[in-house]
Amino acid sequence: MSNPSVREFRAARIARPRRGFAALVGVLAVLPVIAVIASWLTAPHQITYEVTSEKIVIHAGTSMTEKNKEIPLSRIEEASPAWLRGGSLDFGTEKHGYCVGFYEYPNYHKVWQATDCSAEGVIIRAGGEVMPIIIAPDNRDAFLAAVRDGMAMTFPTAVTPSGLHWPALVALAVVLWGAAFVLGALLFLGPARMRYLVRDGQLGVTTLAGKRSFPLAGVSARAHTPLLGERLSGVNLPGYCAGVMVFDRAPTSVFATVRESGVLLEGDERVFVSPADPAGLIAAVIAAGGRAPATSAGS
């Protein structure tokens, strides 16, 4: 048989979480997937240099873009070894194994470069090009011979550029999915889990974080519409409030799904709750040793 001195009350039901917060949970959940796709699309391919009987074709694109440059062999004025020291990027992309863009070197001044960021390469000066071009085939001597003789060959760079940066992406996924899980739990599970149990002269409160209990002897209980203030500690989200807030300009332990109205318990500590049946909770508190608040004469 059930114990009539034990009463359990659900928290007041609320409308669905605000669309903005629900959307935020969704955004946090999908951001890691978007980051992986974006990283894959923008990850550079290994640069290759294709020599034909007519031209040099530099292939320096990504999964999403093509970045090819052609140099006719008939316009090449110089193709010789280059040593790259002290260069700085003016504009372009610089990643591990992928340096493509406009650089400036003490010995070559301004150049356009498509290399694996190594210190050795080939400098090409050609008619019609505003500035020298620097590349870095893995076999420099064989490349120069192919250019000289017009032999069809393809040369990759010595270093393969890094693709997806998995450690950073995994860390991002852990952080964002963790935040989405916590926020989703607070918004969707928190209100359903909140309970108030009156038993053995105490009020027990169940939240996502665990259980709290408050003695009821001599505690006044009344329906109350508080003057809302700031959060001092804990969680304060639409539909789920568990922590210490400033209510009526006084610190108050709040365990509520609705902050605008509920039941205020006043004793050694102020406690505000929002049961679905406020009158029933007040009656149970008084029966368990609490009291109704004093009323002024004539009221």
| Dihedral angle sign, alpha carbons of residues 212, 260, 240, 287 | positive
pLDDT digits (tens, 9 = 90+) for 63-111: 556 678 999 999 999 999 999 988 899 998 888 888 999 999 998 999 9
pLDDT digits (tens, 9 = 90+) for 201-222: 999 999 988 899 999 999 999 9
The predicted model gives 247-272 an average pLDDT of 94
Per-residue model confidence (pLDDT) at position 297: 41
Confirm if 202 and 218 have CB atoms less than 8 A apart.
no
Domain assignments of the chain as residue spans, ordered by start: 11-27+176-287, 48-156
Per-residue model confidence (pLDDT) at position 274: 95
Per-residue model confidence (pLDDT) at position 80: 94
The predicted model gives 235-257 an average pLDDT of 92
Beta bridge partners of 223: 263
CA distance 245 to 231: 4
Per-residue model confidence (pLDDT) at position 191: 86
Q: Which of 229, 218, 210 lies closest to 265 in space, CA to CA? A: 218
Q: Which of 93, 130, 79 lies closest to 109 in space, CA to CA? A: 130
**Which string of DSSP letters, residue by residue, matches the chain?**
---TT-EEEEBPP-PPPPHHHHHHHHHHHHHHHHHHHHHHHHPBPPPEEEE-SSEEEEE--BSS---EEEEEGGGEEEEEEEE--S-EEEEEEEETTEEEEEEEETTTEEEEEEE-S-SEEEEEEETT-SS-EEE--SSHHHHHHHHHHT--EEEE-SSPPP---HHHHHHHHHHHHHHHHHHHIIIIIHHHH-EEEEETTEEEEEETTEEEEEE-TT-EEEEE---EEEEEEEEEETTEEEEEEEETTEEEEEEES-SSSEEEEESSSEEEE-BS-HHHHHHHHHHTT-BPPP--TT-
